[in-house]
Amino acid sequence: MHINFLKKRNRDRFNVEYVPSFPVLALICILCLYAPMVPLLFYSFNDSTLLTVWHGFSWQWYEAAWNNERVQEVTLRSLGLALQASVYSTILATMAALATTRVPKYRGQGLIYAVINQPIMVPEIVTAVALLIFFASIKAATGYQGTAYLVLAHTAFCIPFSYLPIRARLENMNLSLENAAADLYASPWRTFKRVTFPLLFPGILAGAMLAFVISLDDVVITEFVKTPGKDTLPTYMLGELRREVTPEINAISSVLFVVSILLVGMTFLISSKK
């Protein structure tokens, strides 16, 4: 009788999965998100130079993009930038997550959480304009025009994307093992190295991969902050679209889309690991 009561109680709790229209709404959302990608992927294999007229299957646009020296240059720059931004932002996000979860509750903790996640809440164009003004004053004072501005801008923007999965991992970690290490006279650093970090590593890896994807795909902040001649792959594609839309852009977009989906999927699998 007690078991039946618990089953009834669990059924009475609201769960979106049990809403009759939930599967239909989920399917509609998925179609709205990914249906526009189907023509992009389809016509990236088109043998014609026309975007919407199918002339046969061909790999020529992928080969053209692969052999394009300009595409190779901006791709390497994008990968290097995304790697640096993901590493720096993940280190800072890990420190911030530890400072906001592995300490007793204190006044202003909610404000700190809001400040860390500010780049997500504020429109990206606002962040881009603010960074443009800030870096312009530094350029005028120092004369430096390198790619360090892009690294700093991407790092700042990616911190909350790394912070969220790391914080979520920490909040689900039991403190008993860390307390046991402290009882055995382990220093805070040794406790972090031998206990906290191994348990936290899936969250750190998930945060780093998510930051990598965000940096790799970013257009708005990069367009405002980059110096002339320092295009990334997304800004190069934007410039090409302003001049002429070719099937080569379809091929590059398809590859970028597939890579992003794979990385996000891996991020989800890693972050869900117990």
Look at residues 124, 117, 104 and name the one whose alpha carbon lies nearest to residue 163: 117
Q: Over 21-59, what HEC string results?
A: CHHHHHHHHHHHHHCCHHHHHHHCCECCCCCCCCCCECC
**What's the one-letter identity of residue 273?**
K
Rounded Cα–Cα distance for residues 53 and 42 (Å): 11
Q: Which residues contact 260 (CB under 8 A, 6 or more apart)?
A: 213, 216, 217
pLDDT-derived band at 105, boundaries 50, 70, 90: confident
pLDDT tens figures, 6-58? 444 455 565 666 677 777 888 888 888 888 888 888 888 888 777 777 788 88
Per the CB < 8 A criterion, the answer to whether 225 and 124 are in contact is no
The full set of domains in the chain, from first to last, is 64-271 (1.10.3720.10)
Torsion angle of alpha carbons 84, 86, 91, 96, nearest 10°? Answer: 140
Asked if residues 151 and 86 have their Cβ atoms less than 8 Å apart, the reply is no
Say which range, 25-29, 84-88, 241-245, has the weakest mean pLDDT.
241-245
